[in-house]
Structure 1
Amino acid sequence: MMKRLSPWNLGATLYMPATRTDIADAILTSKVEGLRSLVICLEDAVSEEDIPEALNNLQILLETLAKAKAASGSAHWPLVFIRPRDVSMGARLVKTMNLSPIDGLVLPKFTLASLSAWWNFIEHTHLCMMPTLETEEVYDVEQMRQLAILMFGHPCHERIIALRIGGNDLMNVISLRRPRHLTLYDGPMGYVIKMLVSVFATRGFALTAPVCEHIDDHDIMDKELALDMAHGLVGKTAIHPNQITKIEAALRVSDNDYADALRILNSSQAVFKSLGAMCEPATHRRWASAILERAQVYGIISDRGNGGIVRVPLSQQNQG
């Protein structure tokens, strides 16, 4: 069975300001359909003057979740993370609040220089990490290469579920905002995402896609999601519940890809043709394994558009 904290279980990660008072309902009552992961945000989504209110709400929420967990367990919950404002707030949360119901922290403005400060107080907890790459250093491929090498050999490696790409913050660094009629890939972020995938995915780190802030433009969302999948990203930040079904749909595996993946993992041939394309198990095996993992979580959808979603039990995924 796939680990609960697998990056494939993130799906559409919904960000909710910690000032909201309905977060417990979203976690405990399936109020938000299809929600797999949620981030309680104390950073950009909360103004400075509202921090005391947000922290008070968080304290009440944690007490509510702790009681619910003690009563019935939490295996059915979405993954729940907190995004503190900075390192000092993160350390304060760990020291003063009961974070036992929480799966991990989203680390804002994460850099090579801040890794040790975050790890100093996370190391001795159960918390996993989702560092966010969103500062000017991200544009420097050499700095990203150094960060990837350091994290790969660091004890934190086992705690990192995925790296989050902070699209809006990265655009802000260069004084830009995504045009309404273009995907994020049509501007400078297209290069940045490609570079980050090249640097981090080659070392086994999963990456998630930035938010699409044009909430009502479903055509742009669909185009962007197709590019997210083409770049191997494992999920996407959502800022509105109506984006969740779109992201879930993009993460479903086509029946053709699923069939190819099974053939690749079970074939004794070095090269063969499938559905008009060359399949080469020696070079396509890692792709095929990822396809089966996605299918296990999100199901299979027909390429011909004439079938429903098929869920794939792990027992049926013969990987040879």
Structure 2
Amino acid sequence: MRHLESISNKNFYQIPMEFNKYTKRNLLKYAMGANLYMNALMDLYNKTITVRLKDICTITICFEDAIKESEVGRGERNVLEFLDKIYDELISGKTDENSIPLIFIRVRNPSQFISFTSKLSKNQLGLIAGFTFPKFNKENATIYLEHLEKVNKKFHEKIYGMPILESEEIIYKENRMLETIYLKDLLAKYKDFILNIRVGGTDFSSIFGLRRKVSSSVYDINVVNDCLTDIINIFGRSKDGYVISAPVWEYFSSDINSNEVKGLIREIELDKENGFCGKTIIHPTQGIYVDIMHAVEFEEYIDAKNILKSAESGGVFKGYNGNKMNEILPHYNWAKEICNRGKIFGVLNKDISFDKLFLEMGAIK
């Protein structure tokens, strides 16, 4: 599996690397890219393997908001059958590993997480990259993390957890600092099992009866932006090494010139500027835009490489295009992030920009 396979290699100075669930965590944590949420009741095999979701390397199968509580049992059986079918076709050679996206399961609550994992065989679990934990808070966090550790030890598999910060305890200002600091301290004890921190912009907005328009971004909703800023402040410090994924963009279209797509691209740019990497998506057409925007442009890559090369000497030097100051120590953490992202999403050639790629895809200037 690798990102941006539909983009010609001629556009890349450095082609995106291949990865799978066993790729080292320090690189895999950047690789979520466009993470497509899928209803657990869908025809999952035909949607993901037979048709092969174009430009989608990560899926999350949802047992929570996407289905009714009365449908959870049917959803679980559907997912177990899906995993069995993939395993059988892998063994028979009808499907290869590169056709299988990273598979995550969004559980409904801690009890369903425990119950569902008790139904998984080792073969089924081997196909799962991890679990996402909705409305992760002080009340449920220890249960989720302790059981995640048990699953890893029981099956001798690498199974990751991705907590989702989206509850009232996080967005309400009077609770926020105590809650986020508690969760950060707890997660530190299980850090090897944590692949991503995720945030729920739609849930945060819902608490206040708000919803952004297609002409605005999540950062224009001040009460939500205030919370996202604090989450980045607590979890986004370079020394801690967490990757935080951006909230979903609720609008989609197959027309690259639509307001829905323009809004998505604009919000991804803001996501990156604010310290997020990757984005939850709710429609396959959103995937290519998320992943293109996470590729690294040539100029920033060369600057980043030169900063890392000069790390021991320190100092200041002129940037690649003679248009900026590169200060080695203050820009060192940025440079590491850029180079890691370049490995996963690729580095564009000198004469290739995001706008040029979008023009080739049919965008109008």
Q: What's the TM-score, normalizing by structure 2?
A: 0.78
Matches of 1:4 and 1:18 in 2, distance apart?
28
Q: Aligned equivalents of 1:181 and 1:250: distance in 2?
A: 19
Q: Which residue of 1 aligns with 2:5?
A: none
Is the CA contact 2:297–2:353 (under 8 Å) kept in the aligned structure 1? no
1:159 to 193, 197, 206: 193
Identify the match of residue 164 of structure 2 among 132, 135, 154: 132
Once residues 18 and 306 of structure 1 are traced to their aligned partners in structure 2, the CA distance between those partners, rounded to angstroms, is 37
Aligned to 2:35: 13
Give 1:285's aligned amino acid. Y
Report the CA distance between 1:29 and its aligned residue.
Answer: 4.5
Structure 2 residue identity aligned to 1:141:
M
Equivalent of 2:232 in 193, 197, 209:
197
Q: Distance in 2 between matches of 1:163 and 1:151?
A: 10
Out of 292, 298, 305, the residue aligned to residue 262 of structure 1 is 305
User: In 1, Cα distance between the equivalents of 2:341 and 2:309?
Assistant: 18
* Counterpart code for 1:144: T
Letter in 2 for 1:94: T
Q: How does 1:51-130 map to 2 (within 5 A)?
A: 51-71=72-92, 74=97, 77-98=100-121, 99-125=125-151, 126=157, 127-130=159-162
Shift of 1:76: 5.3
CA contact (8 A) 2:196 2:244 kept: yes
2:204 to 170, 177, 184: 170
Number of positions where the alignment pairs a residue of Structure 1 with one of Structure 2: 306
Once the two structures are aligned, what percentage of the paired residues are identical? Answer: 27
Flag structure 2 segments of 5+ consecutive residues without an equivalent: 1-16, 152-156, 254-259, 358-365
8 Å contact 1:108–1:131 — kept in the other structure?
A: yes
Q: 2:332 & 2:100 partners in 1: Cα distance?
A: 32
Structure number with higher relative contact order (C-alpha < 8 Å, ≥ 6 residues apart): 2
Segments of structure 1 that go 5 or more residues without pairing to the other structure are: 310-320
- For the residue of structure 2 that corresponds to 1:119, the secondary structure is helix
Aligned equivalent of 2:154: none
Which one of 324, 340, 357 corresponds to residue 277 of structure 1? Answer: 324
Runs of 4 or more off by more than 3 Å in structure 1?
25-30, 68-76, 302-309
CA distance in 2, matches of 1:70, 1:33: 24
Q: Within 1, Cα distance between the matches of 2:229 and 2:333?
A: 19
The offset of 1:58, in angstroms, is 1.2
What displacement does 1:198 show? 0.9
Contact 1:211–1:236, Cα closer than 8 Å, also in 2? yes
CA pair 107-71 structure 1, distance change in 2 beyond 3 A? farther
Output the aligned Cα RMSD. 2.1
- Distance in 1 (alpha carbons) for counterparts of 2:133 and 2:353: 42
